[in-house]
Structure 1
């Protein structure tokens, strides 16, 4: 059986100008550099046999580039930096899923449009064979769940795990253990989200229009997490009364709108603590908390750690 590197990556990487970098990555993965004549950046891959792989993309082409290859069956889940008019939108990221099947795959990369993402790719031997056998048959629903992730849904825990993959490099001796643990963590978050969503939809006796309205409110909160959200304004967005919106949101998602906004803020703050040089007070302000103490209190309540403790443990090079 072909490895995931041979079946999924090598057929297209060499086709569009990537070759293995000379340096050795400390995380045990393989970095492929883009031909400078075609663009800048790289693709980093950590493959595990014919089962799964981690991928981090950070690149941009100088010209329009197209690829065409025989794609195998696989699942992909990742976070992608959103781009508008050819430019990044300032760190906004979307969680998306993709269900690949065996066919001739074609894709075009526009010139000067950055591609920045981190994701996991799972092969059928893993998500159809190993995972259901080790855990539960319900995991066979993973392709259906992945197909629902079109960038409009937020699963903060899965997004946070992907960002941790991007920011942390384990030593080669423990890399396999670390990356499989992160893959299992992400799959568990996806499965819980999918099962919860299915249960909510089955038990919620409401019109499709109401569900669409609730999704619109949730997406608005996700994108505007740093701002205070007035209930009346959200109700107008949903075309519902404030009381109907409040009760409907709680029934659909198992949490209040305030709790959801808090969860998004905390996940964003984790990303800033891991990947920025901002001080803790600056992080608090960036996610919408004017009072440093209020942010610290909520962060510890939701994570069990203060922001300073979280940064010291997960990003010691940024702690002070």
Structure 2
């Protein structure tokens, strides 16, 4: 199929990365895909791309330029989901501040952005081709195809889906190669699809079950939790007042809306933030514990091990070791 043949690293990434000063790093180790390293005269960093020809890309970017760089890109037809740890500047209109999860449906016009000097571009994304979401899915899931395609196309813009953030980070940290890598990446794309479809279903259920007033109340609670996940003093009564609900109604409504309790949501948020700090910084574990509201580092370490199976120090060593393998640094 011609459409599949054109959706390759050579056609969709290589020419445009070379325009920015990237070139293929032939010294990249056994990890599948292609690693592009930035010319040290213009900046530092890498772009890693894995492709199942005609079906999907997985890309991981981590670089910055010494000077401001304008960039134009004639978009191909795709649907992508990515976790961005750097600000996104697009068409002088959309500016999202990191970190964030973004669903994106390409448009026919040229994508334009201005990359500020010495500002990191850091993300991990799954990019789906039409051959995947129009042909492969329709053949593989003929009875469910309309539901699958609708879910993919509707999840456009900023998303709140912590499970998908975790999935993308798992992909970035994976170090397997050969057949194991191909199986792993394909399984993660399928898992992402399942998460998106389930998320879309939950959104429809929430809209059907909740009044606009209740949706606004839950949204206010969510904003509060995302900003104060390290504050152990916040009570269910305070959150209920914020939502204009009784504590009992808030618990019930929140569980229906997000398929977890408020305590479980806070737990996920703390673990997510702890993992991010351990993966991408050398901040003292005691400081991380303090940020998350723990007075004793040991209490935080026990909590972290209960939910991940590893002590924070063990997780940091493992995660940062794997990240260095992925980035080529």
Give the shorter-chain TM-score range: 0.7 to 0.9
Per-residue CA deviations over 1:141-184 (Å, capped at 9, x if unaligned) read 2333430x41xx43121111111112222123321111111111
For residues 16 and 290 of structure 2, the distance between their equivalents in structure 1, rounded to whole angstroms, comes to: 43
Q: Normalising by the residue count of structure 1, what TM-score does the alignment of the two structures yield?
A: 0.80
Q: Which residue of 1 aligns with 2:41?
A: 37
Q: 1:287 to 1:238 in 2, by over 3 A?
A: same
From 115, 118, 126, the equivalent of 1:120 is 126
Determine the structure 1 residue equivalent to 2:327: none
Structure 1 segment 1-320 matched on structure 2, within 5 A: 1=2, 2-83=6-87, 93-135=99-141, 136-137=144-145, 138-147=147-156, 149-150=157-158, 153-204=159-210, 206-207=211-212, 209-228=213-232, 229-238=234-243, 242-269=247-274, 287-289=292-294, 292=298, 296=302, 300=306, 306-307=309-310, 315=318
- Give the alignment's TM-score, normalised by structure 2: 0.78
Contact 1:53 1:120 in 2 (8 A): yes
Q: CA 1:286–1:145 in structure 2 vs 1: closer, same or farther (change >3 Å)? A: farther
The alpha-carbon distance between structure 1 residues 34 and 142, as it changes in their structure 2 partners (threshold 3 A), is farther
- Alignment partners' CA distance in 2, 1:40 and 1:261: 36
For 1:274 and 1:113, how far apart are their aligned partners in 2? Answer: 19
CA distance in 2, matches of 1:114, 1:67: 15
Deviation at 1:46, TM superposition (A): 0.8
What SS does structure 2 have at the residue aligned with 1:307? coil
Shift in alpha-carbon separation, 1:105–1:257, aligned structure 2, 3 A: same
SS at match of 2:149: helix
Q: Deviations over 1:47-77 (max 9, x none)?
A: 1101111111111111221122321110111
Q: Structure 1 residues 168 and 286, CA, compared in 2 at 3 Å: closer, same or farther?
A: farther
Counterpart-to-counterpart distance in 2, 1:142 and 1:11: 32
Indicate the RMSD between aligned Cα atoms, in angstroms: 3.3
Equivalent residues of 1:28, 1:171 under 8 A apart:
yes
Structure 2 gap segments, 5+ residues each: 89-96, 322-329
Match of 2:326 in 1: none
Shift of 1:287: 4.2
Check whether the contact 1:76–1:120 (CA below 8 A) recurs between aligned residues: yes
Q: Relative to structure 2, which stretch is displaced further, 49-58 or 171-180?
A: 171-180
Query: How many aligned positions are there?
Result: 303
The runs of 5 or more residues in structure 1 that have no matched partner are 85-90
The answer to whether the 8 A contact 2:23-2:36 is kept is: yes
The change in CA–CA distance for 1:236 and 1:183 in structure 2 (over 3 A counts) is same
Greater Cα offset, 50-59 or 219-228: 219-228
How many angstroms apart in 2 are the aligned matches of 1:165 and 1:251?
A: 29
